[in-house]
Amino acid sequence: MAITIRRLVFILIFFLLTGGFFVQKARAASLTSVSDTITTSRPSASAPLTSNQAASAGQVTINDNGSIFLASDSAVLWPDTGETLNTVNVASMSAANTPSSNQRIVYFTNTAANTHHAGDPITTAITTTHKIQFTTISTVPASGKIVLTFPGTAVTTASPSATTFSFNGLTTANSASNISYKLDGTRTCTFAIATSGQTPTITCTVDAGGSVVGGTVITFLIGCADSSSNETSCTTNSPRLINPTKSAAAGTADNWKISIQTQDNNSVTLDSAKATIGTIESVQVQATVDPTLTFTIAPVSGAINTGNTTGCTNTESVNSGIASTATTINLGILNTSTINISAQLITISTNASGGYTLTATSSGHLVNPATGIWIPDSTTPTAMTINVPWFGIHPCGLNVTSIWYTTTRNDATGGGTGAKYGWPTQSTAVTLASASTGPIGNTAATGGVGAGLTSVEYAGAVDVTIPAGTYYSVVTYVATATF
């Protein structure tokens, strides 16, 4: 019993005597308020061609690996031996499994001039600016370091990587013009950038003139075309780093960890932390606007036009004595001492981007069916004169072309030397008004006041050679919108 007690005492004494040799080593603290904000979270796209692409092709078929090419993207078709790089603009991307399982088609707005083989990649590099921010715990001494480490292996090319953010030509030599930063407002950085094949790091070595004390908020903006230091924002944003390509399932973010360390002047870690950022597909939003076209014919009484004076004067009025309707025109009794005028208002509005055209055809001359005699006319617009037989229509409005009128206008009584009157045939339409761009409407927001308004005068004149009788014709108007 005594022996056992002595052994326990010995063991206790041993631990008491040797405990001083097991003092715990101090550990680095975690940096606080750590974040990495990127200007876009959209992944880059990179996919291999599944078949050879011919020269001057307007599309390629790719392996569906989750890469998304969106309209207006600039895409690069990379060459292999004996081929030439091509840059194309993306028009759209087909649905999944088109034309075959696990395939998609990428359509171009232009064509790829050169051939590319199956397996060659097509890529769209999505560039971004990283705003890395944190608060120090320990003081970073003069000539100490701040090290930003990205995942994977460093890539300096302009093509995207599947495992890291490509540095896209960012080097030690050009770092001053591509990284803005703020330490404490007085200290400055000398940057070193990892080259290809190494761990992708950006190292800031603090100048030898002083330290950065604990509790300082430090900011780095990687991808700023601003050579000045002590910046908290970019005066000129020039995204530089290229986002990785997609790896996670559709709709799920790929997470990337950026390591941040502060070090002393012997490269011993003082404090550290990691910032996690996610890249995820952009959401493509789509909506459809149906094409619209309104087309109306209305009677005119009194002044022929209001607000659309091109080709007409505001003092012109109908004078036939018989009111027009939406479907009838009666010029009344034609005589040798005046030009009889009636009118209608044609209104067109459309959301067509290519504008519209208003044309007219007719059943034939203004003819007396009992005698077969008609009042003279022509598809070529011609000025009318009192006591000279003539019949036709004359449009006026913002989109009426000058073939319908002369540059001067002197016809307060209607007709006169300013207006020209023409009459279509069944086989030869005449264009009354047109606009090459739209939308077209009747307000300032949709094409200007009166943009879609066309006043149409109907006019007739006779002399003593025109026999008595009732004369008839039918005119048909066609509005064509260009979508």
Q: Are residues 216 and 113 in the same domain?
A: no
SS (H, E, C) 118-151: CCCEEEECCEECEEEEEECCCCECCCCEEEEECC
270, two tokens? 């003082």
Q: How much is the pTM?
A: 0.67
Question: Is 129:170 a contact under the CB 8 Å cutoff?
Answer: no
The answer to whether position 89 is within a domain reads: yes
What CATH number is attached to the domain comprising 59? 2.40.10
Domain range enclosing 49: 45-124
Distance CA 97, CA 99 (A): 6
Q: Are strands 269-279 and 29-30 parallel, antiparallel or unpaired?
A: parallel
The answer to whether position 148 is within a domain reads: yes
Q: Are residues 337 and 453 in the same domain?
A: yes
Distance CA 110, CA 281 (A): 25
Distance CA 222, CA 242 (A): 11
**What does residue 44 show for φ and ψ, rounded to 5 degrees?**
-70, 165
| Ranges of the chain with pLDDT below 50 | 1-26, 227, 229, 409-417, 444-446
* DSSP letter string, 81-124: TT---EEEEEEEEPPTT-SSTTEEEEEEEEEE-S-B-TT-EEEE
Q: Are residues 117 and 99 in the same domain?
A: yes
Question: Is 103:97 a contact under the CB 8 Å cutoff?
Answer: yes
The answer to whether position 180 is within a domain reads: yes
Q: Are residues 275 and 297 in the same domain?
A: no
Question: Is 291:355 a contact under the CB 8 Å cutoff?
Answer: no
Q: Which of 112, 9, 98 is nearest to 53 (CA)?
A: 112
Q: Are residues 336 and 464 in the same domain?
A: yes
CA distance from start to end of the chain: 107
How many domains would you assign to the chain? Answer: 3
Q: Are residues 337 and 381 in the same domain?
A: yes
- The count of other CB atoms within 10 Å of the CB of residue 293 is 15
Q: Are residues 336 and 263 in the same domain?
A: no
**What does residue 97 show for φ and ψ, rounded to 5 degrees?**
60, 40
Q: Are residues 54 and 114 in the same domain?
A: yes
Q: Are residues 140 and 120 in the same domain?
A: no
- The count of other CB atoms within 10 Å of the CB of residue 480 is 16
Write the CB contacts of 262 (distance below 8 Å, at least 6 apart in sequence). Answer: 31, 136, 138, 140, 144, 145, 146, 147, 269, 270, 271, 272
Distance CA 351, CA 328 (A): 29
Q: Please give the pLDDT value at position 416.
A: 40
One-letter identity of residue 45: A
Q: Are residues 261 and 362 in the same domain?
A: no
Q: Are residues 229 and 322 in the same domain?
A: no
Residue 62's DSSP bridge partners are 49, 104
The answer to whether position 215 is within a domain reads: yes
The answer to whether position 436 is within a domain reads: yes
Q: Which of 278, 150, 166, 133 is nearest to 202 (CA)?
A: 150
Q: Please give the pLDDT value at position 19.
A: 37
The answer to whether position 8 is within a domain reads: no
Q: Which of 79, 99, 124 delimits the end of a domain?
A: 124
Question: Is 457:384 a contact under the CB 8 Å cutoff?
Answer: no
Exposed / middle / buried, residue 383 (Cβ in 10 Å: 0-12, 13-18, 19+): middle
Q: Which of 245, 279, 313 delimits the end of a domain?
A: 279
Q: Helix, strand, or coil here: 190?
A: strand
Q: Which of 279, 312, 339 delimits the end of a domain?
A: 279
Q: Helix, strand, or coil here: 405?
A: strand
The answer to whether position 12 is within a domain reads: no
One-letter identity of residue 429: A
Question: Is 358:440 a contact under the CB 8 Å cutoff?
Answer: no
Q: Which of 138, 184, 135 is nearest to 32 (CA)?
A: 135
Q: Are residues 325 and 193 in the same domain?
A: no
The answer to whether position 7 is within a domain reads: no
